[in-house]
Structure 1
Amino acid sequence: MKKKDVYLLVFNSLSDWEASYAIAGINNPQFQKNPGSYQVRSVALKKSPIVTIGGVHIQPDMTLAEISPADSAMFIMSGGMAWDEGQNMEAVDVARVFLAAGTPVAAICGATVGLARGGLLDDRRHTSNARDYLAATHYGGAQLYEDAPAVTDRNLVTAPGMAPVDFAYHIFKCLDIYSPPVLEAWYGLFKTGRAEYYGELMKAINA
């Protein structure tokens, strides 16, 4: 079975933690309905190594020019200081192409600012770090903003940087990686840290 690619945008100042739960769950076949269906591939503007905000060095697998929605299951865009500096708009153009083709896009924290600047939040329900954070871009979708840990609307997932678990939950749901009982138990465990959810997770996996 050929694995479908999930592309992860990487760039200097990338906020390491924001997509960590999501990419671990996507790339790890444990608990999945169809183990090994997906693989995560890192994508950057250039093939040059990048350094995350946590000091992790990443050699990108591909460039933005090499990817297309036909070859992918999703395009994930994490936050980082580069977005507040107006960078990464090439990735917003890629997101536009993916959404037009019906391929999901997931953006968290600063990446939502890029989408707002690109007009991609003007007609979709969405969230971000704060209402005022996006309002500063003078985008046209302020009336569709929701104060929520994550929002999915028409193949677009958005979340604030403080909600990596909710971001992953919406991504997993969008990609249909886990059965509903496994997904809900996973979310309960990682969202609350309560031990009873581990038992529910094991029960759901073995059902």
Structure 2
Amino acid sequence: MAITVYVYVMNTMADWEASYVMAELNSKRFFKKDAKTIDIKTVSNTKEPIRSMGGLTIIPDCVVDDIIIHKDNLLILPGSNQWSELDHHNILIKAQQFLSCGAAVAAICGATVALANLGLLDERRHTSNGEGFLDMFCSKYKGKKYYVNDVAVRDNNLITAGSTGGLLMAKYILEYLDVFKSDTLEYWYSYFSTGDANAFFAMMQTLQ
């Protein structure tokens, strides 16, 4: 059975925040030979085109009601300045259902505020756009003692990241899905985070 990775798309979404992981899951260029089958789908409230913050037009593959809640599937929630709007409540309920059944959710930037508003960060290690950010934008936030001051954090099936944490979030997602060999993943992250060509060549050696 294929694993489905759903990427929620919405107007003003910060398209770059999920770009690293989407590129690798879609291209499969560095997957290990026995990697699980991954299907990546963009999902929104309707199939009407959305306009990203970077000016990209995206036509969603499916709608929120089409999402299959299964422990092997994964949901990615990119940042946007529209997370406070009621239109996005349904996808947050799906996120809650994902976490409850053991499926993974990855949320970055503004999406972490949306999860905090539902109380989903109250008792799990998480991060966002710096200490005090969630307190500023979420009056219901009660998870301060679980806040980790890092660009991305993984707590079992919950992955959170600040706006600068897209690359590390991608690493945690790829690790969670177990589609790269461990040494491939380490060199991949090293190369893209440092630009060291030696890491790139070492990564390519792991694929042979």
Shorter-chain TM-score above 0.5: yes
After TM superposition, the structure 1 = structure 2 runs for residues 154-169 of structure 1, keeping only pairs within 5 Å, are: 154-169=156-171
Structure-1 separation of matches of 2:188 and 2:126: 24
| Residue equivalent to 2:18 | 19
After TM superposition, the structure 1 = structure 2 runs for residues 35-54 of structure 1, keeping only pairs within 5 Å, are: 37-54=37-54
Structure-1 separation of matches of 2:60 and 2:130: 30
| The 10-residue stretch of structure 1 (157-166 or 181-190) with the greater mean CA deviation from structure 2 | 157-166
After TM superposition, the structure 1 = structure 2 runs for residues 86-165 of structure 1, keeping only pairs within 5 Å, are: 88-136=88-136, 137-138=138-139, 139-165=141-167
SS in 1 for 2:192: helix
Structure-2 separation of matches of 1:193 and 1:170: 19
Structure-1 separation of matches of 2:64 and 2:15: 19
The 4+ residue runs of structure 1 with deviation greater than 3 A are: 84-87
Letter in 1 for 2:30: F
In the TM superposition, what is the alpha-carbon distance from 1:88 to its structure 2 partner?
2.0
Aligned sequence identity (%): 38
| Residue equivalent to 2:190 | 188
In the TM superposition, what is the alpha-carbon distance from 1:85 to its structure 2 partner?
5.2
Letter in 2 for 1:98: F
SS in 1 for 2:160: strand
Structure-2 separation of matches of 1:4 and 1:122: 28
| Residue equivalent to 1:9 | 8
SS in 1 for 2:73: strand
Superposition TM-score, scaled by structure 2 size: 0.93
Structure-2 separation of matches of 1:195 and 1:87: 44
In the TM superposition, what is the alpha-carbon distance from 1:132 to its structure 2 partner?
1.4
Q: Is 1:29–1:35's contact at 8 Å kept on the other side of the alignment?
A: no
Structure-1 separation of matches of 2:190 and 2:174: 14
Superposition TM-score, scaled by structure 1 size: 0.94
Q: Is 1:7–1:72's contact at 8 Å kept on the other side of the alignment?
A: no
In the TM superposition, what is the alpha-carbon distance from 1:131 to its structure 2 partner?
1.8
| Residue equivalent to 2:56 | 56
Structure-2 separation of matches of 1:71 and 1:148: 27
Q: Is 2:71–2:101's contact at 8 Å kept on the other side of the alignment?
A: no
Structure-2 separation of matches of 1:101 and 1:35: 23
In the TM superposition, what is the alpha-carbon distance from 1:6 to its structure 2 partner?
0.5
The answer on 1:31 being equivalent to 2:30 is yes
Letter in 2 for 1:55: G
| Residue equivalent to 1:178 | 180
Letter in 2 for 1:190: F
5+ residue gaps, structure 1 = none
In the TM superposition, what is the alpha-carbon distance from 1:151 to its structure 2 partner?
0.6
